[in-house]
Amino acid sequence: MEPQVAIVTDTTACVPADYVARYGIEVVPIQLIIDGRTYRDGIDISAGEFYAMLRQSKKLPTTSSSSPQHYLDAFRRAGRRAKRIFCLTEPSRFSAMYNSARIAAELARGELGDTVIEVVECTTAAAGQGLVAIAAARAAMAGADLAGVREVASRVMAKVNLFAALDSLHYLARSGRVPQAAAMVNSLLDIKPIFTLNHTEARTVALPRTMKSAANRILKLMVSSARKGKALHVAVMHADAPDEANRFKDRVISQFDCREVFITEFTPVMGVHTGPGLIGVAFYAED
C-alpha cells in the first residue's frame, strides 16, 4: 500500500541515495555555479567531484537557491503517489529555499486539485535535516497521516544534535563569512573550529588544534548530549574526507548503542563556505 504522505526535501539534507530510493523521498537539487557554469547538485555533479573542483578553483564557486519551479516539479512528482505532501527545507535564515517552497505550494494549489502541501522550516540543517526527513518518511511508510508525519518530524527536530569540525577557515574567509584576520589566526595557530547548529543557531563550541583532537572532542560532545540508555540514529558527515569519516564511524559504533549509523557527504551548498576536510556528526536518541 502506498503511503498517504510523500516527503520532499532538498540536497542540503545530505540524504544518501539508498535512503532516497528506499523511502521514496523527493529531493530538490540546489544549483552550484562554478567558473560560470551551473550544475544541479547531485545530478550534474557529485559531492566528490565538487570538492575536487573546489580545491583547484581560483574563483570561489557560488550557490543559487532552488527556484519555485524546482519545488513545483517535485510536488508534481510527489503528488502522483500521495494526496498529502510534507516538504522540509533548511532554515530560512540560511537560504531562500523555504520561501521558494512556499511559493511553489501556492502555485500547485490549483494545479494539483485536492492535494495538500505542508512546507516546514527545519530547525537544523545538513545531515540533521536529513535525519528529520528520513524519520518523516519512515512514519509515512508506516501509515501515518499528515498530522502524524508532522508530529514525528517535530519530535525528531527537537532532539537532533549536530557538531562539525572545519579543517580550515580559508574558505569562510574567501566567502566573506569571517574576516581575513580570523583566517590568518587560524592558519598560524592551526585551529580546527568545532561548531554546532541547533534550532537555527550556529555557534563555535571548541577550538582544538588538530582534526584528531577535533574528532575526540566531538565524541565527548556526543557523550554529554546523548541520552543514557537510549539508542542513537547517527549520520556521519564529511567533505572529501572518506577515510576520516570511516574511522569516525567505527569509533561511534564502538562507543554508542546505534539503531542506525551511516556516512554521507556534506552538502556542497554549505561546503562552498566550509571547504573540504570537514568531519561532523548529526544524531538523535530514540524516545
**8-state DSSP, 41:** B
Residue 168 Cα to chain centre, angstroms:
20
Structure confidence at residue 237 (pLDDT): 97
| Interval 256-270: pLDDT, tens | 999 999 999 998 888
| 20: β partners | none
5-30+65-158 and 161-285 in the same fold: no
All cell numbers assigned to 67: 527556484
Structure confidence at residue 181 (pLDDT): 44
Q: What is the DSSP string of 273-285?
A: HH-TT-EEEEEEE
Identity of residue 79: G
Structure confidence at residue 191 (pLDDT): 84
Can you tell me the distance from the alpha carbon of 21 to that of 7, in angstroms, rounded to the nearest whole number? 12
Is domain 161-285 annotated with CATH 3.40.50.150? Answer: no
May I ask the CATH class of domain 5-30+65-158?
alpha beta
Can you tell me the distance from the alpha carbon of 59 to that of 185, in angstroms, rounded to the nearest whole number? 23
Structure confidence at residue 96 (pLDDT): 86
Prediction pTM value: 0.93
Give φ, ψ of 72 to 5 degrees: -60, -45
Parse the chain into domains and list their residue ranges: 5-30+65-158, 161-285
Q: Are 19 and 26 in contact (CB under 8 A)?
A: no
Q: What share of the chain is helix, strand, coil (3-state, %, to 5)?
A: 45, 25, 30
Q: Which residues of the chain have pLDDT under 70?
A: 1, 175-189, 199-200
Structure confidence at residue 188 (pLDDT): 46
Number of CB atoms found within 10 A of residue 155's CB? 14
